[in-house]
Amino acid sequence: MLSPNRVLVEKFPLLQSLINLEETCWFNPKITSFTEALPDVGLTAADIKDASDRLQRFAPYLVKAFPETAETNGIIESDVVEISQMKNILQQDCSTEITGRLLLKKDSHLPISGSIKARGGIYEVLTHAEKLVIKAGLLSIDDDYSKLFSDDFRKFFKGYSIAVGSTGNLGLSIGIISAKLGFVVSVHMSADARQWKKDKLRAHGVTVVEYQQDYGVAVEQGRKEAEKNPNCFFIDDENSQTLFLGYSVAGERVKAQFDSAGIKVDTQHPLFVYLPCGVGGGPGGVAFGLKMAFGDNVHCIFAEPTHSPCMLLGVHTGLHDQISVQDLGIDNRTAADGLAVGRASGFVGRAMQRLLDGYYTISDQRMYQLLAELNSQEKIRLEPSALAGMIGPAIVHSNVEYLHRMNFTDEKLANATHLVWATGGGMVPKIEMEKYLSKIND
Tell me the window of 31-39, 45-53, 249-257, 378-386 that interacts with ligand PLP (CB under 6 A): 378-386
Least Å distance between CB 421 and ligand PLP? 8
Check binding of 281 to ligand PLP (CB under 6 A). yes
* Gap between the Cα atoms of 383 and 37, Å rounded: 33
- What DSSP assignment string belongs to 184-241? EEEEEE-TTS-HHHHHHHHHTT-EEEE-SS-HHHHHHHHHHHHHH-TTEEEE-TTT-H
The answer to whether residues 336 and 424 touch, using CB atoms and an 8 Å cutoff, is no
CB atoms within 10 A of CB 12: 16
One of 100, 114, 175, 282 touching ligand PLP (CB under 6 A): 282
Give which of 372, 385, 368 is closest to 421, Cα–Cα: 385
* Gap between the Cα atoms of 344 and 329, Å rounded: 16
The answer to whether residues 303 and 277 touch, using CB atoms and an 8 Å cutoff, is yes
Check binding of 298 to ligand PLP (CB under 6 A). no
One of 74, 216, 270, 283 touching ligand PLP (CB under 6 A): 283
One of 386, 390, 395, 416 touching ligand PLP (CB under 6 A): 386
Check binding of 426 to ligand PLP (CB under 6 A). no
DSSP state letter for 426: T
Tell me the window of 191-199, 222-230, 363-371, 383-391 that interacts with ligand PLP (CB under 6 A): 383-391
Least Å distance between CB 210 and ligand PLP? 18
One of 117, 188, 253, 291 touching ligand PLP (CB under 6 A): 117
Distances (CA, A) of 422 to 105, 179, 211, 374, 390: 6, 26, 27, 11, 8
Check binding of 125 to ligand PLP (CB under 6 A). no
The answer to whether residues 353 and 313 touch, using CB atoms and an 8 Å cutoff, is no
Bridge pairing between strands 417-422 and 271-276: parallel
Check binding of 340 to ligand PLP (CB under 6 A). no
Least Å distance between CB 279 and ligand PLP? 4
Which CB sits closer to ligand PLP, 263 or 312? 312
Check binding of 116 to ligand PLP (CB under 6 A). yes
One of 113, 169, 178, 306 touching ligand PLP (CB under 6 A): 169
Which CB sits closer to ligand PLP, 60 or 389? 389
One of 18, 235, 271, 277 touching ligand PLP (CB under 6 A): 277
**Which residues neighbour 362 within 8 Å (Cβ) at sequence distance 6 or greater?**
23, 303, 304, 305, 306, 387, 388, 391
Tell me the window of 24-32, 55-63, 319-327, 333-341 that interacts with ligand PLP (CB under 6 A): 333-341
* Gap between the Cα atoms of 426 and 442, Å rounded: 24
* Gap between the Cα atoms of 308 and 344, Å rounded: 10
* Gap between the Cα atoms of 167 and 278, Å rounded: 9
* Gap between the Cα atoms of 292 and 200, Å rounded: 36
Check binding of 342 to ligand PLP (CB under 6 A). no
Which CB sits closer to ligand PLP, 100 or 175? 175
Least Å distance between CB 383 and ligand PLP? 6
Distances (CA, A) of 301 to 139, 171, 221, 321: 41, 25, 31, 19
One of 165, 280, 349, 389 touching ligand PLP (CB under 6 A): 280
Which CB sits closer to ligand PLP, 391 or 416? 391
Check binding of 415 to ligand PLP (CB under 6 A). no
Chain residues that interact with ligand PLP, rule: CB under 6 A? 115-117, 169-170, 276-283, 338-339, 341, 383, 385-386, 423-424
